[in-house]
Amino acid sequence: KLLAAEVKDKKTKEVLRKRCAIHWVTPDGFPVWQEYHKRDQARLKLTFLGQANVFMTYNKGDTKEIDAHKQESGIAPNFVHSQDGSHLRMTVVHANEVYGIDSFALIHDSFGTIPADAGNLFKAVRETMVKTYEDNDVIADFYDQFADQLHESQLDKMPAVPAKGDLNLRDILESDFAFA
């Protein structure tokens, strides 16, 4: 939610409207590329039985022009999804290496395994979450990666990185409801 609020900030919108692709790397090293293009659309008029006209718009493909609105509206959810994906990949590796879990049922940010391994998988989810956010300042990293893609004349329009709160990440390790 914090990133979404920052993206809605007027300064951030000015930067995102520069019509450029955006890329960043997640904590596990996965490269993310966001590049929404405007659609080449056509309108089709269909006439049925010589009387009823129906108009239909269809997409012929993408143009070369970046869609600034989609870039702006997509950045916050895509950033969050990329962090979720990073956590998922790191959890699977950790669960396998530390707990020997080799059966997974995964969908986006939902983790599953066989009942005998469920407790250890939940431990792995929490351990990986803590390690990821203790070892990485994902907002500052994203800010730096994004700023590197801008022209120096745009840097003064970037909002400051928000201050961290007082969450004790280690409390996640003991939480029964850390991840639902």
Nearest CA to 80 among 173, 179, 4, 160? 4
Domains in the chain: ranges and CATH: 2-37+67-174 (3.30.70.370)
Sign (positive or negative) of CA dihedral 124, 126, 127, 130: positive
Beta bridge partners of 66: 37
Give the whole-angstrom CA distance, residue 141 versus residue 143.
5
**Chain-centroid distance, C-alpha 109:** 12
| 3-state SS string for the chain | CHHHHHHHCHHHHHHHCCCCCEEEECCCCCEEEECCEEEEEEEEEEEECCCEEEEEEEEEEEEEEECHHHHHHHHHHHHHHHHHHHHHHHHHHHHHHHHCCCCCEEECCEEECCHHHHHHHHHHHHHHHHHHHHHCCHHHHHHHHHHCCCCHHHHHHCCCCCCCCCCCHHHHHHCCCCCC
Type of residue at 167:
L
Q: What is the pLDDT of residue 1?
A: 46
Q: What is the pLDDT of residues 64-115, one digit of tens each?
A: 888 888 888 999 999 999 999 999 999 999 999 999 999 999 988 899 999 9
Q: What is the pLDDT of residues 34-64, one digit of tens each?
A: 998 988 888 888 888 878 888 888 888 888 8
